[in-house]
Chain A
Amino acid sequence: MIRIFWAELSKDLLLAYRRKGDLLNPLLFFVMVVALFPLGVSPAADFLSQLAPGVLWVSALLAALLSLDNLFKADFEDGTLEQLLLSPESTYVIALAKAVAHWLTTGLPLALLAPLLAVMLFLPSHAIPTLVVTLLLGTPTLSLVGAIAAALTVGLKKGGVLISLLVIPLYIPVLIFGASAVQNATQNLPVQAYLAILGAMLALSIVLAPFAIAASLRVSVSS
């Protein structure tokens, strides 16, 4: 079981490494939204520092969403997805490995890049650790939940639009608790409760989402 998890994870990471352009896409999107925002609205420091938590979280969320469409597409088109489903090993583990690979190539880099962009938006420096922690807790949930929608729509020609429609309502709780935690941190208010809820959502999605991803993949392949 662990063997197949590693096999799938390392294959996906190797493929991502060999296609570095796709790897940079969500990061570039993240940087551009955050960099263009002050130009379009106002470069005033106190104004930006007020908006920073929301802007950072929203753009990180959209960047993660942007990359979902390709999560299973290539595997579906070249037939390796079929072969994965024909593995005697559990599809749950395979689905989990795919979601983890997606997080390692999008969510993790986004969380690591966020402090740099937070400085650009004048986010108070004592709130930066909270920003990173919320992103580290929140983005895996985004990858896991997003993978369900990606798996459901992989067989459709124009699945991209449908993914956004399916997934945005489910992303909203993560966004609310993530951004609120950072907001609270800027005002030196306690954030533990928010982090606990983000952690609970992550725990729940680690346990349940792979089942849904696996079932959705079977439905998509069987049409």
Chain B
Amino acid sequence: MAAVLLDINDLYCERDDRVLFEHLSFKLKQGQILQLVGKNGSGKTSLLRILCGLYSSYEGSVSFLGEEITASRDAYNSALLYIGHNVSVKNGLTARENLTWYAKIQPQLDEKLIDQALAKVGLKTYEEVICQNLSAGQKRRVNLARLFMLDETSFDKTLWILDEPFTAIDGEGVHNLEQQMSHYVANGGTVLITTHQELQMKENLQQLNLDEWGT
């Protein structure tokens, strides 16, 4: 029986007098890929930000391994890898400097895997280029390189929350990411993702449509 990583219970959130979702309850189990779908503005990003503990204007409870995320922030943050819809890369630093900084502030990322991660996202020859001079897609790849920096032994203890990770990424890049995602999930990882693209892998994939929960 797979462990329940995230337990979302009776969640309610409104924004600008519009109810995004109410009575929303679901569980995210280890080894699962849960794809959030819904129209633009249906609250996918808001929900992901709530689940990361970044957005607190909600009612209901979100618990990680049985404990409220607000109470177990340290444990939760060291299990979480969040790719937001922002680029989350410092323009003034090189790709390598960005990832080195990430490895320090988020110790679940392994600094020794930076080379490998840069190669995997196709930025090996760009590692010393200031990110300002990279294209939009390449900047997103620098951020996505974090997904390749988790040590394999920690896959089953961690969780990815990905907000539109494929934006501005080319076909080959998307394919690579999906492969890494399958590899991650096959080894015990858990993924919560929003994307408008159809995911190639169907194994362990479930969908949750937010349009059914709001008004």
- Residues of the B chain whose Cβ atoms lie less than 8 Å from the Cβ of A15: 90, 92-93
Evaluate contact between B84 and A79: CB separation under 8 angstroms.
yes
Binding site for B on A (CB under 8 A): 3-4, 7-8, 11, 14-15, 18-19, 74, 77-80, 82-89, 94, 218, 221-223
Partner of B84, one of A19, A82, A84, A89: A82
Partner of B80, one of A80, A84, A86, A89: A86
Evaluate contact between B105 and A8: CB separation under 8 angstroms.
yes
Binding site for A on B (CB under 8 A): 49, 52-57, 73-75, 77-78, 80, 82, 84-93, 97, 101-102, 104-108, 130
Partner of A80, one of B73, B74, B89: B89
Evaluate contact between A88 and B52: CB separation under 8 angstroms.
no
A4 to B73 Cα, complex, angstroms: 17
| A88-B78 CB under 8 A given contacts A78-B86, A82-B88, A83-B102 | yes
Evaluate contact between B89 and A222: CB separation under 8 angstroms.
no
Evaluate contact between B54 and A11: CB separation under 8 angstroms.
no
A7 to B104 Cα, complex, angstroms: 6
Closest Cβ of chain A to B4, distance in Å, is 21
Partner of A83, one of B88, B92, B108: B88
**Chain A at the B interface: SS class:** helix
Partner of B106, one of A18, A74, A83: A83
Evaluate contact between B105 and A89: CB separation under 8 angstroms.
yes
- Residues of the A chain whose Cβ atoms lie less than 8 Å from the Cβ of B84: 79, 82-83
A78 to B89 Cα, complex, angstroms: 7
Evaluate contact between A222 and B54: CB separation under 8 angstroms.
yes
6 closest cross-chain pairs (CB), A and B? A79-B86, A7-B104, A88-B78, A79-B88, A88-B77, A87-B105
- Residues of the B chain whose Cβ atoms lie less than 8 Å from the Cβ of A4: 104-105
Count of CB-CB pairs between chains A and B under 8 Å: 78
- Residues of the B chain whose Cβ atoms lie less than 8 Å from the Cβ of A3: 104
- Residues of the A chain whose Cβ atoms lie less than 8 Å from the Cβ of B74: 88
Closest Cβ of chain A to B2, distance in Å, is 24
A94 to B77 Cα, complex, angstroms: 15
Closest Cβ of chain A to B186, distance in Å, is 25
Closest to B87 in A: A78
A19 to B91 Cα, complex, angstroms: 11
Partner of B107, one of A74, A83, A85, A88: A88
- Residues of the A chain whose Cβ atoms lie less than 8 Å from the Cβ of B87: 78-79
For B78, B82, B92, B93, the residue with the greatest tally of chain A CB atoms inside 10 Å of its CB is B92
A177 to B55 Cα, complex, angstroms: 41
| A19-B92 CB under 8 A given contacts A78-B86, A88-B74, A222-B54 | yes
| A85-B101 CB under 8 A given contacts A19-B92, A78-B88 | no
Closest to A17 in B: B92
- Residues of the A chain whose Cβ atoms lie less than 8 Å from the Cβ of B88: 78-80, 82-83
Apart from A82-B88, A83-B82, A222-B49, 9 more pairs, CB < 8 Å: A8-B105, A18-B130, A78-B89, A80-B90, A82-B54, A83-B106, A86-B54, A88-B73, A222-B54
Q: List 8 A-B contacts (CB under 8 A).
A: A14-B93, A78-B88, A83-B84, A83-B88, A88-B73, A88-B74, A88-B75, A222-B56
